[in-house]
Every structure is written in C-alpha cells, then in structure tokens.
Structure 1
Amino acid sequence: MSDLLPQGWMTPSIAYAISVIGAFLGLSFAARARRTTGFFRWQWQGLAALALGGMAIWAMHFVAMLGFSVPGTALRYDGPLTAVSGVIPVVATVLALHLIVRQATAVRLLASGVLVGVGIIAMHHVGVVAMNVHGTMHHDPTLTAVSAVIAVVASTVALWCARQLQGPPAILLASAVMAAAVTATHYTSMAGMHVVPPDFTPVSPPDGAKAWDLLLPVITGLFVLLLICSLFLLLGDDEENERRDYSRASHRAAEHTVGSEDTYTPRHGAPSEPRPGDDVWTRRR
C-alpha cells in the first residue's frame, strides 16, 4: 500500500514546473551548441545536459518523491544512492547530445532517445532503491513497461526538438510537452509500486536521511544552476547580437565599397565617344 498524492496536486504541479524550466534551458543550450564548434560546443552541450538531466529529469523526480508516502511507516533516503541517481541522467544526456548535435541521422536520433530513456528509467529505479522503508516494495510489470516506453518516446522527441527547433516560442512548447512526458513517466511507474508492510511492528524509523533534510541542498543546487544557466544565456545573447551587428556593418561597408567602384560617375558626366574629326583635347560646347 502507498499514497501517491498525499498533498493533492500541489507537489506534481511544482515538479512539472521545475521540469519545464529545466527543459527550456536545456533545449536553448542545445540550440546554441548546434551553431558553435570546438570548446564552445562542449560548453553548451554540458550546460544542456545539466539542465535537461539534472533539472528537467532528476529534480522533477526528487520533488515528486516528496509527495509519496507509505501509511504506517516512515521513509528515509540513502544519500550516496540519491546522488548517483542524479548523475545518471546527466551522463546519458550529454552522450546523447554528442551523438545528434553534429549529425542528426535517424539511427543516431533513435539511439540517443533510447540512451536517454534508459537513463531516465535507471535514475528512477536507483532513486526508488535509495528509499528505505519498513516493508517490501513490489512493482507492476505492465506499468513499469509503459513508463519505459513513455521515457524512450519522450527522450526521442526532446532530442529531435533539441536538434531542430529554434526560437523561444517553439522551445517553450517543446519544453511543456517534454516535461509532461517526464512527469507521466514518473507517476506511471510509481502508480505500479506498492509496499507490503512487515510482519513486525517497527519501533524506529529506517536508516537514512529524511527527504526534507535533503531538500535544502537540492534547492540550493537548483538555484545555483538556474543562476549560472541564466547568466550563460544572457551572455550568449549579447555575444550573438554583437556578432550579428558587426557582420551587418561589415556587409554594409563591403556593399558600399563594391557599389562605389561599380557605379562611379565622373564629376562632369560620363565621357562620350569622340566623333570623327573632333579633337579629343578640345573642350566641347
């Protein structure tokens, strides 16, 4: 037995909003990675992986787990395993972006979607294993399989958006769809999990930290990540605007120079062809 929504829809709404923000930042960084090369491409890919894997996927999962409870027993979390569950989607996302940013073939896109989908499922189940509870946890195979399919499809669509979309409106729409799919993956899998209480009556809570004890570090990390991502987005926009203005000025200068050479007209008009018998050195009346 378990309670999936003890606080109603407040926790899922907050988790979904965090996922939308992370997806928007990640897809924006991926769009910049397409337009750069070398070190700067790796920089944007790394930021995109942190935003997508760390915020849109893992942070959404962690916040959603705050709304999960098992009646009659306390929940505790293993700190190291929880941290490992946060690293998994980041690594999977950065590898997937590396595959599709330079060459987005259908095979690469599908492989990247599967890679990120497996990363999401692995993150989810490692996070569930990190949850200590008095009792035995069981998972519904059908709902687990459905959640895996949703994860792979959502990841493939998100990576396609990262490779194709440009402009804030399109990226925002894609972020909302991706966040909905990630949230659906989590709650579909959690709906198939139930806890069988133990035969004995526990006298103390299980080992591990409370979720609220981990909440402050998570919120601090998310705030710092959001601040860094926003700073990079602003600096990236300034650099692109300066580069665009410079190229336009150079283009105008080049056009002016070329046009001056091609359309130069002498001050006293274009010389006419001399007629037979005229002295070319005689001023014409």
Structure 2
Amino acid sequence: MYGTVNGFTYGWITPVVAYVMACLGAALGLRCTVRALVMERSRRAGWLALGAVSIGSGIWTMHFIAMMGFTVDQVEINYDKSITFLSLGVAIAVVGAGVFLVGFFGRGAPVLLAAGAITGVGVAAMHYLGMAGMKLEADLAYNTGTVYLSIGIAVAAATAALWAAVSVKGFAASIGASLIMGVAVTGMHYTGMAALRVHLHDSGIAGGLGGASPAAILAPVLIGPVVFLFLAGVVVALDPPGVQQTRYEPVREPAQGRRPR
C-alpha cells in the first residue's frame, strides 16, 4: 500500500521561504566569490570558503524548510539528526570543491564544466542523503527517470552558478543571478520529491511512529545555518567597498636612465 504524499502541507509558505533562503545563500556566495577573484591568492581562500559555506548552507536550509511542508498522511515522520547534519557537511564540501576549482584554476569551459558536475552531483547527493535521514514506518522508492532529471537540474544549476560567480559583475547582476539559481535549486528539490513513492509497512498504517511533527523536529536544526547566513551577510556588508575592487600588482622599478618623478 502506498502512502498519500503531500509536499505542500502548509500551502505555498514553505516553498516560498525555501526559495528565499536558496537565493540568500546564492547571493552571499556569489558576492564572496567575486571578491575572492579580485584578490591576491594569499587572501583568496578565506573568501572562497565563506562563499562555499554560504551557498551550501543556503541550499541545505532550502531543502529542510521545504521538508517542513512534507507529510505522509498515514504515518508520522521523524529525522535522524546525524544523517541530517551529515547532509549539511556534504553540501558545503561539494560546493567548496566547485568554488575552489574555479577560484584557483581559472574560468575556462573545462574547469567550469568539471566544477559544475562535481557540485551538481554533490548537491543531489545532499538531497537524497537528507531524504535517507527520514525515519518512518515505510520504504522509500524513487522513479529512476525523475531522479536523473533532478540530478541534471542540479548540475545545470551548479554550472550556471559557478559561471555567474566568475563572470557576473556588479551588485544588481549578482542579485539577478542568485534569483535564477534559487529557481533552479528549488526546482531540483521538488523534482526530486516528485520521484518519491512511499510504500507503507503494515504497522505504519493509522498512526505509525507517532511523535513530533516535521516542523517541530526541523525548526531547531535550522537555527545554526540561518544564523550563519545572517552573520555572513553582515561580514559581506561591512567589508570595505574598496577591497573587492583591488587587485594585487607588484611594485614596478623605474626604467633605467629615468628618474622617478
């Protein structure tokens, strides 16, 4: 027997808030990456790391805010916190791999495609690992074709985001890129959810595990990443505006036979 799946238990509230968090993480990450690319290499790693954590936290927060609106009518859902936080680590690590690749090895097509593939597959892995953290009296099954489609969307979104990070200039352009990335990342999530089928155990019908609602379980877990995104926004906002416009240039010696003025 299959359970009745509802991904919009609270209507459009959770999808909209999830989208906003994805855009916030993307915007902060793009601004950090832009600043990193105009700095000397010795200072680049810190901004790239901040950008990776911002994007990864935004994607992860988007996923679990969206999951607060996910229910199966016949059973209660709990979450394994260790797997949930492991999925956060995966999101940050794979985004970091992509960001550092383009940050230190150039912005050519081969690097962008490789970085986008690594990051996109990693983001999809974060999504399905987070789904594996659900505890309910049922077995989860996925439509293979829809899963591949969600991975393709994730790879395309990651590649576009990395391209924007190294190509888009200006605050307004970064905001526009982050809005597009938010659509792609949120679309990847709901495409992956559309692939899901929940096969109930006999013991899961009419009550199941019981316990707290997904919102009650996930809300405390989300506090840390949300606070981090806020603090990252403060750091980006307070960074002296001249810093990101400065490139490292070696001091040039005056030409022979000419005296400096």
Query: What TM-score do you get using the length of structure 1 for normalisation?
Result: 0.79
**Of 128, 151, 154, the match for 2:131:** 128
Q: Which residue of 1 aligns with 2:157?
A: 154
How far apart, CA to CA, are the structure 1 residues paired with 2:245 and 2:174? 23
* Match runs of 1:120-199 below 5 Å: 120-199=123-202
How far apart, CA to CA, are the structure 2 residues paired with 1:13 and 1:225? 20
How far apart, CA to CA, are the structure 2 residues paired with 1:139 and 1:107? 32
Aligned residues: 245
Is the contact made by 1:140 and 1:192 (CA closer than 8 Å) also made in structure 2? Answer: yes
**Of 53, 58, 61, the match for 2:56:** 53
How far apart, CA to CA, are the structure 1 residues paired with 2:127 and 2:222? 19
Is the contact made by 1:114 and 1:156 (CA closer than 8 Å) also made in structure 2? Answer: yes
For the structure 1 residues 243 and 177, does the alpha-carbon distance in structure 2 shift closer, same or farther, using more than 3 Å as the test? closer
For the structure 1 residues 219 and 138, does the alpha-carbon distance in structure 2 shift closer, same or farther, using more than 3 Å as the test? closer
Structure 2, unaligned runs of 5 or more: 248-259
Q: Following TM superposition, by how much is the alpha carbon of 1:136 offset from its aligned partner in structure 2, in angstroms?
A: 1.4
Q: Which residue of 1 aligns with 2:74?
A: 72
Structure 1, unaligned runs of 5 or more: 245-256, 259-285
**Corresponding residue SS for 1:136:** strand
For the structure 1 residues 206 and 243, does the alpha-carbon distance in structure 2 shift closer, same or farther, using more than 3 Å as the test? same
Structure whose alpha-carbon radius of gyration is higher: 1
**Of 33, 37, 42, the match for 1:34:** 37
Does residue 8 (structure 1) correspond to residue 15 (structure 2)? The answer is no
**Corresponding residue SS for 2:141:** strand
Higher RCO, 1 vs 2 (CA within 8 Å, ≥6 residues apart):
2
Is the contact made by 2:74 and 2:206 (CA closer than 8 Å) also made in structure 1? Answer: no
For 1:120, the aligned partner's letter is V
**Corresponding residue SS for 2:174:** helix
How far apart, CA to CA, are the structure 1 residues paired with 2:22 and 2:153? 16
Q: Which residue of 2 aligns with 1:232?
A: 235
How far apart, CA to CA, are the structure 1 residues paired with 2:117 and 2:212? 33
* Cα deviation code 1:153-189 (max 9, x no counterpart): 1100000001111111100110010010000000001
* Cα deviation code 1:51-84 (max 9, x no counterpart): 11111x1110010011110011000000000000
Is the contact made by 2:14 and 2:66 (CA closer than 8 Å) also made in structure 1? Answer: yes
Is the contact made by 2:137 and 2:203 (CA closer than 8 Å) also made in structure 1? Answer: no
For the structure 1 residues 208 and 45, does the alpha-carbon distance in structure 2 shift closer, same or farther, using more than 3 Å as the test? farther
How far apart, CA to CA, are the structure 1 residues paired with 2:48 and 2:209? 39
Q: Which residue of 2 aligns with 1:272?
A: none
Q: Which residue of 1 aligns with 2:98?
A: 96
Q: Which residue of 2 aligns with 1:84?
A: 86
Which range moves more in the overlay, 99-108 or 201-210? 201-210
Q: Following TM superposition, by how much is the alpha carbon of 1:16 offset from its aligned partner in structure 2, in angstroms?
A: 0.2
**Corresponding residue SS for 2:71:** coil
How far apart, CA to CA, are the structure 2 residues paired with 1:97 and 1:243? 20
Is the contact made by 2:74 and 2:205 (CA closer than 8 Å) also made in structure 1? Answer: no
For the structure 1 residues 117 and 166, does the alpha-carbon distance in structure 2 shift closer, same or farther, using more than 3 Å as the test? same
* Cα deviation code 1:99-122 (max 9, x no counterpart): 112311211100000011111111
**Corresponding residue SS for 1:46:** helix
For the structure 1 residues 208 and 40, does the alpha-carbon distance in structure 2 shift closer, same or farther, using more than 3 Å as the test? farther
**Corresponding residue SS for 2:202:** coil
Q: Which residue of 1 aligns with 2:253?
A: none
For 1:92, the aligned partner's letter is V
Is the contact made by 2:76 and 2:208 (CA closer than 8 Å) also made in structure 1? Answer: yes
For the structure 1 residues 100 and 63, does the alpha-carbon distance in structure 2 shift closer, same or farther, using more than 3 Å as the test? same
Give the % identical residues. 33
How far apart, CA to CA, are the structure 1 residues paired with 2:41 and 2:245? 20
Is the contact made by 1:15 and 1:61 (CA closer than 8 Å) also made in structure 2? Answer: yes
